[in-house]
Structure 1
Amino acid sequence: MATSNVSTWDGWSTSQLKIILLGGRNSSKRCVGNLILGHEEFVTKERTSCSRRLGVVEGRWLTVVDTPGWWCDFSARDTPELVKREIISSVSLCSPGPHVFLIVIKASSAFSERRRRAVEEHVGLLGESVWSYCMVVFTCADRSEHTEASQLVRAGGDALCWLSDKCRSRCHSVVLSDDAETTKLLEKIQEAVTENGNRAFEMREKVFLAAAEEKRRVEEMAEERFMRVKKQRALMRERLQPVTDIRIVLIGAKGSGKTSTINTILNRESAMSQRRTAQCVARTGVVFGRQ
């Protein structure tokens, strides 16, 4: 008898779940990824590239992709192109597409209007349709600072209310130090996936093409910059090569000491006689290994 590859855990309707983590720097995205997978998979230091980890939780395959974080108080215009490209290309690491995007925010951080705009601009890099697949995850370091997501949204003012509405009120708060939070978070994620008919997010082709074109342009600029620097370094090395053959011409009035200067340079009295010179005279010698 054929066996189904669908997990038997109640509430999970697909055999695989693909998740992308979005958020600012130091938002604890990686900690959320580790909480979901049940062990330390993501390093906590900031990266400029996406990282993907796979795991099995309750018999179900999970793919979790962490994206580079952005500076929370800065516009996407101030974010390096490399970081923006990585955010866009994160979708390709979840082929055919992710089921949910988790926007991770520290519960203890004030969510200002500036931070709201930063989230809107960076998440918006993936296209307007991405918001239908987004869910807000508030992170709490321990149980003492835990607050329900609904309370956090109400206390956060217009900025957080806007984000909650944009994500269809899909918000959840987790205690990072409590492994028991994994099941609750996955249940919330499954609710969001079910609302979308278990469909995966598909990025519009023009967004991919624009990202690919921008990547090509930046790579070409980087290659040109590399070749330019390489040539400059080669030229500098040539100029810094030690000179083994030095040629010197002395010009000066009669009695100015030109002859004595030559004798001093060549380190011998017999190099030039002290009588007046009526025509050009050349002398050679080796001084400190140089001709």
Structure 2
Amino acid sequence: MKLQIEGRKISPNHLRIVMIGGSHAGKSSTGNTILGKSAFNVNKINERTTTHSEINHGVVEGRRLTVIDSPGWYYIHTLQDTNEMDKLEIRNSVYLCPPGPHAVLLVIPLAISIDASYLNGVQQHMSLFREDVWKHTLVLFTRGDWLGVKTVEEHIESEEGLQWIVNKCGNRYHVLNNMDQSDKTQVKELLEKIEEMWAGNEDPYYEVDLDRAAHIEAKKEAEDKMVKRLKKTNERKSRFLKEVLGGKQ
């Protein structure tokens, strides 16, 4: 409203949000907290819940939201360690909400120590996007209950790697406690921060190349076919070995 009164940008009534980050960072739970419903599956234990980028929609605080969840990379994996399908899915996440996301939430759990390996993993996986993605990125801390009496600012100051990430994001960050989804204030404040970031950017969103999207989709389909072929081949080998071994008994 203030922006409208001052005659500047009018806030969009439809926000497009993409969540990225490491495995078990709480991206799916964060999507559920933001949308206020069980939109993304979080039931699996000790397994990655998200293997493909997923999209869900909702209306929150009078705004239409499109929220995309993406597969996470393993804790301290380099980009080279991450398999091709995961890299394709992470890249693809920003293409699921054309013409591009207003906000990319880099999801980081507060309980994790940001050492050199973790920081390197973040830097390398963010390189899957263009450098200007950082202008549209906000650090979203999960496990807000873990802070206790400590402030998030104190936590950031205590981690040199975290300082680098937050600075790279223009000092934009927010804390969510996904264990308390009844606290609607934390989501309202997050959406306000996203709108502030949007208002301060010359480009209103991270623009995607739709031709590139078609190329990525074709590559994904080729990878999927290859994985299915390998699975069938391994199943045939397994059946053959069982028959051979069974015949020797």
Q: Same fold judged by TM-score > 0.5?
A: yes
**TM superposition shift of 1:163:** 0.8
Return the alpha-carbon distance in structure 1 between the equivalents of residues 241 and 136 of structure 2. Answer: 54
**TM superposition shift of 1:233:** 7.7
TM-score between both structures, scaled by the size of structure 1: 0.69
Residues 168-227 of structure 1 deviation map (CA, whole Å, 9 limit, x = unaligned): 111222333233211111111111111224612123568646634643542453355356
The answer to whether the aligner puts 1:174 opposite 2:176 as a matched pair is yes
Work out which of the two has the higher radius of gyration on C-alpha atoms and give 1 or 2. 1
Given candidates 113, 132, 136, the residue that maps to 1:110 is 113
| Local SS of the residue matching 1:48 | coil
Higher relative contact order (Cα pairs below 8 Å, separated by 6+ residues): 2
The alignment's C-alpha RMSD in Å is 3.1
Given candidates 88, 99, 102, the residue that maps to 1:99 is 102
Given candidates 199, 207, 224, the residue that maps to 2:204 is 199
Q: Where in structure 1 are there 5+ consecutive unaligned residues?
A: 1-6, 243-291
Q: What corresponds to 1:28 in structure 2?
A: 26
- Decide which moves more: 16-25 or 227-236: 227-236
Q: 1:207 to 1:238 in 2, by over 3 A?
A: same
Return the alpha-carbon distance in structure 1 between the equivalents of residues 29 and 236 of structure 2. Answer: 45
Return the alpha-carbon distance in structure 1 between the equivalents of residues 186 and 84 of structure 2. Answer: 35
**TM superposition shift of 1:147:** 4.4
Q: Is the Cα contact below 8 Å between 1:146 and 1:175 reproduced in 2?
A: no
Q: Is the Cα contact below 8 Å between 2:110 and 2:146 reproduced in 1?
A: no
Return the alpha-carbon distance in structure 1 between the equivalents of residues 11 and 231 of structure 2. Answer: 50
The answer to whether the aligner puts 1:225 opposite 2:230 as a matched pair is yes
Q: What corresponds to 1:131 in structure 2?
A: 134
Q: Is the Cα contact below 8 Å between 2:94 and 2:101 reproduced in 1?
A: yes
Return the alpha-carbon distance in structure 1 between the equivalents of residues 221 and 167 of structure 2. Answer: 36
Q: Is the Cα contact below 8 Å between 2:25 and 2:108 reproduced in 1?
A: yes
Q: Is the Cα contact below 8 Å between 1:193 and 1:199 reproduced in 2?
A: yes
Return the alpha-carbon distance in structure 2 between the equivalents of residues 211 and 154 of structure 1. Answer: 39
- Decide which moves more: 107-116 or 196-205: 196-205
Q: Where in structure 2 are there 5+ consecutive unaligned residues?
A: none
| Matched-pair identity in % | 32
Q: What corresponds to 1:59 in structure 2?
A: 62
Q: 1:74 to 1:238 in 2, by over 3 A?
A: closer
The letter of the residue matching 2:171 is: S
Q: Is the Cα contact below 8 Å between 2:157 and 2:163 reproduced in 1?
A: yes
Q: 1:149 to 1:230 in 2, by over 3 A?
A: closer
| Local SS of the residue matching 1:78 | coil
Return the alpha-carbon distance in structure 2 between the equivalents of residues 173 and 206 of structure 1. Answer: 36
Q: What corresponds to 2:15 in structure 1?
A: 17
Return the alpha-carbon distance in structure 2 between the equivalents of residues 182 and 12 of structure 1. Answer: 20
Q: What corresponds to 2:154 in structure 1?
A: 151
Return the alpha-carbon distance in structure 1 between the equivalents of residues 37 and 210 of structure 2. Answer: 35
Q: 1:229 to 1:70 in 2, by over 3 A?
A: closer
Q: What corresponds to 2:167 in structure 1?
A: 165
